Amino acid sequence: MSDAADPTVMRHRHLEQVAMAALAIGRLLMETGAKSSVVATGMRKAAAGLGAQEPHVRIGYASLALTVSHGVNTITRMVGVGHHRVDMRLNHAVRTLCTRIEAGGMTPRSVAEETRALAGRVPRHRRIVAALAAGIACAAFGRLLGTDWASVAPILASSAAAQGVRMALAARGTNMFVLIAAVALVASLLAGLGAAWAGSETAGIAMTASVLLLVPGVPSMNAQTDIMEGYPTMGSARFVTVAMILIFITVGMGGARLILGPGAGDVLAPPASLPHQAAFGALAAAGFGVLFNFGARTLLWAAAAGAVALAVRTLCLDAGLPLEAASFLAAVAVALWVEALGAPPLRVSHAGQTLAVAGCIPMVPGGAAAQGIIGLLELSTLPPAEAPAALVVSATAGLQVIFTVGALGAGLTMVRAVMPRREFP
């Protein structure tokens, strides 16, 4: 009997098409910055909408596996996952496609064709806009960290140039960690030179602020959320990647500091003015929103979320709360704000956790992380009598980073757990 007349073989072939279509959905969600629960939900929606029963998903950092069944027939397939980035317009277009597939009426072939077409159809911001947004975000970070006004323009220009280098190296397929070190070197070196030329007294902070376009805010938040939502292996892999990114940022910054020398010891001293913090928190969140490929309207809501985050955190700090507790309450406030946007009567499109993450990005202690790692690297050059004090400073900065990021992730995830949505988590 031929294959065409064998119903069992035909069922397996159809299941394979279903599995591969759902895996393509999952891969695109993963590569555009989705957390694990979103990837799993999208794949299950696609598989179920195409007729499979009881889909089982396995999510890894570099691969996805899916088992689909129909009656007594079962098939398992796996695909690799490429570079993880953040592209929210494409991510939400995939989510919309998943909802359509779940409603029925599509075939595996039509799903595969539409999935392939999405990448070319979804718009992206122009490169010059992305570079300028990176510069504005880092300049806003600089003001949040305590730079003087003389260093704002050098930070903006150096970060914009570094973002151009980043996009050029990415287009050439450069290893991600080599790219990060090179971009950090360019950004911090140009910022240090520019700040010194402008007469800034906070050149060291300017060098730190200029590399914060590389801060792994979304991966660090996703890592925390994955572990809290029952994906510890994936969350651990994301944390390792975040740690590697921070190390290579430090390599680039360390190289620039070796070249420039003075200014490396500036102490971060954020201003306490609430309007100041809220305004520059909004600018930083909107700048990262452009890098995350938010639409124009969503950028406004991202800016509002950033303002809410910094305003609440500043009020909490003024009330005497520690940074970690203030960051937790600010993250809760942002998460509630985003939930309110998505509820009647507002029902803002694409108001979800990614918008909340963008609002919390200005609170990620990238500067403290860089200070902690640089301090550890400099231990070997210090006299034995000074090493213990330097070690304490570096360890304190490292613990502050861990606890603050943990507080941000916990605040966002707890609100989502208490107020779950029917669609994507």
d(CA 425, CA 417): 9
Residue 127 is predicted with a pLDDT of 93
Note the pLDDT tens digit of each residue in 66-110: 999 887 788 999 999 998 888 988 998 999 999 999 988 899 999
Q: How far is CA 114 from CA 21, 35, 98, 110, 295, in A?
A: 10, 22, 11, 6, 21
Q: What is the pTM of this model?
A: 0.84
- Close Cβ partners of 170 (under 8 Å, ≥ 6 residues apart): 179
CB 97 within 8 A of CB 114: yes
| CA-only gyration radius of the chain, Å | 23
Q: HSE (CB half, 13 Å, CA atoms) of 14?
A: 17
252 Cβ neighbours under 8 A, 6+ residues apart: 180, 181, 182, 183, 184, 185, 186, 187, 188, 211
The pLDDT value recorded for residue 263 is 46
- Give me the pLDDT at residue 2, please: 41
Residue 144 pLDDT greater than 60, yes or no:
yes
> Mean pLDDT score of the chain, rounded to an integer?
85
* Cα–Cα distance measured from residue 170 to residue 411, given in angstroms and rounded to the nearest whole number: 33
Every domain range in the chain assigned CATH 3.30.1300: 3-121
- Higher model confidence: residue 134 or residue 13? 134
Q: How confident is the model at residue 347 (pLDDT cuts 50, 70, 90)?
A: low
CATH of span 3-121: 3.30.1300
**What is the mean pLDDT of the segment spanning 278-300?**
90
Going by pLDDT thresholds of 50, 70 and 90, the confidence category of residue 404 is confident
Cα(302)–Cα(337) distance, rounded to whole angstroms?
11
What pLDDT sits at residue 220? 84
List the structure tokens of 252: 């680039």
Instruction: Specify which residues 65 forms β-bridges with.
Output: 58, 78
Question: How many angstroms from the chain centroid is the CA of residue 252?
Answer: 20
Measured distance CA(271)–CA(281) in Å, rounded: 12
